[in-house]
Amino acid sequence: MSSKNIWVFHHYATPPTMNGFSRPYNFAVHMKNKYDTTVFAASYLHFSDVNLINSKEAYIIIEDSNIPFVFVNTPSSAQGTVARVKNMIVFYKRLFSVTNKYAKEHGKPDLIIASSPHPFTMIAGIKIAKKFKVPCVCEIRDLWPEAIFAFGKTTENSILGKWLIMGENWIYRRAHALIFLKEGDTDYLKERKWTLEQGGNIDLNKCHYINNGVDIEAYTRQMTETALDDLDLIDGKFNVVYTGAIRPINNVGNILDAATLLKGHDDIQFLIYGDGNQLEALKRRVIDEEITNVKFKGYVDKKYIPYVLSRSSVNILNYSQTTYNWTRGNSSNKLFEYMASGKPVISTVRMGYCILEKYQCGLSLEQPTPEELAKTILKVHDMPRDQYEEMARNARMGAEDFNYLVLTDRLIKTIDGILKD
């Protein structure tokens, strides 16, 4: 039995039986022989519009995944920005009392990992860790407030913007260690001139890079054993597949524009799996513009995604070029799931620290235009068979480096180093 307890604070974490972020679970289940992990998350499941607590209980514990999840009673965030901010603040405030009670019943932690995207969780992690006299590791999944500035919510030079930057620096300074999810995220610290080498107050030696990934064993099992009944996946056509949210940042309309340019190629079809606030409008476009080579499949349970991707000819990693800073890389779960399917990947944005380029398993567009996307799809379509198969093999082999077994090894080494200090 492990003698060390790790607490993870992650607002949107869920076990694999629910719709949310499974990164904490994937690490916890693979660390079980070394460390015992408890995950603290919000009871309102943002991606399902479901609240697990409909009473005045402060929290509930769910252990059906063999990893204890403590769901903290939080209100819905579905009514807009104000409701979402309230949801974040309530989660932050209630963490203090919930962790205090949980510690009395189950023992205190030896280390806390507090994960973004929003800063309140990391602030709570730092304060609660100080109370228990244990280290706090802050995991930076999204660079806030940079993401807020990118989406035009406020500006860097505004009073709010300056306050947010000061708060960000406070978090990075007070955290015992920092885990970044993209290889180039520490470039941000250098751009801010926050590193010790630049006269700042952040030691790069406490920064670690552990990206998202995929559970190869579970993925392979689902790919072969959990088939989706969909004739379009087995009709022998060249399947261009997109899976994921259908909302502005994913720019799925660009795929429709590219499909229009390829209507003359009868063997190419576009299969789009997912849901989102742009779905109905895009389905209307398909009808009105008679885009006959596009089929919207709607939401499918994530257990079918490995099979769907494995039946593609090429998978599209489709993003808006203008609403996010891609220079520091990409650590989306979707990228690694695409690679694990053993099929080439096309990215509509050219990213820094490019994984597709590193592993020679896909192509990135120079410009995110429909013309470029259509041309690149045709390039894969017309590729000599041996070249195509090599790219496909590279994708699958590259995914092995992002297997959660490998990533957990890195996390364990990070935790070991901290607890030995």
What percent of the residues of the chain are helix, what percent strand, and what percent coil, each to the nearest 5? 45, 20, 40
Strand pairing report for 177-180 and 59-62: unpaired
Block residue for tokens 């205190």: 108
Q: How many residues belong to the chain?
A: 421
Block residue for tokens 């008679």: 290
Residue 346: phi, psi to the nearest 5? -115, 125
Residue 1 has what pLDDT? 46
According to CATH, the topology of domain 216-401 is: Rossmann fold (3.40.50)
Residue 323 has what pLDDT? 65
Closest CA to 23 of 4, 10, 33, 6: 10
Query: Residues 35, 138: contact at Cβ < 8 Å?
Result: no
Residue 150 has what pLDDT? 79
Distance CA 166, CA 153 (A): 17
- Domain 5-213+403-420: CATH superfamily is Glycogen Phosphorylase B; (3.40.50.2000)
Residues 6+ apart with CB under 8 A from 229: none
Structure tokens belonging to residue 216: 């190869």
Greatest pairwise CA separation for the chain in angstroms = 68
Block residue for tokens 């030896």: 110
* 216-401 matches 5-213+403-420 in CATH topology: yes
Q: What tens-digit pLDDT sequence spans the chain (421 residues)? A: 457 999 999 999 999 889 889 999 999 999 999 999 999 999 999 888 899 999 999 999 999 899 999 999 999 998 888 999 999 999 999 999 999 999 999 999 999 999 998 899 999 999 999 999 999 999 999 888 888 887 777 889 999 999 999 999 999 999 999 999 999 999 999 999 999 999 999 999 999 999 999 999 999 999 999 999 999 999 999 999 999 989 887 889 999 999 999 999 999 999 999 998 899 999 999 999 999 999 999 999 889 999 999 999 999 999 876 667 889 999 989 999 999 999 999 999 999 999 999 999 999 999 989 999 999 999 999 999 999 999 999 999 999 999 999 999 999 999 999 998 7
pTM, whole model, 2 decimals?
A: 0.92
Which residues lie across from 72 on neighbouring strands? 42, 59
Domain map (residue ranges) of the chain: 5-213+403-420, 216-401
Structure tokens belonging to residue 317: 């990693």
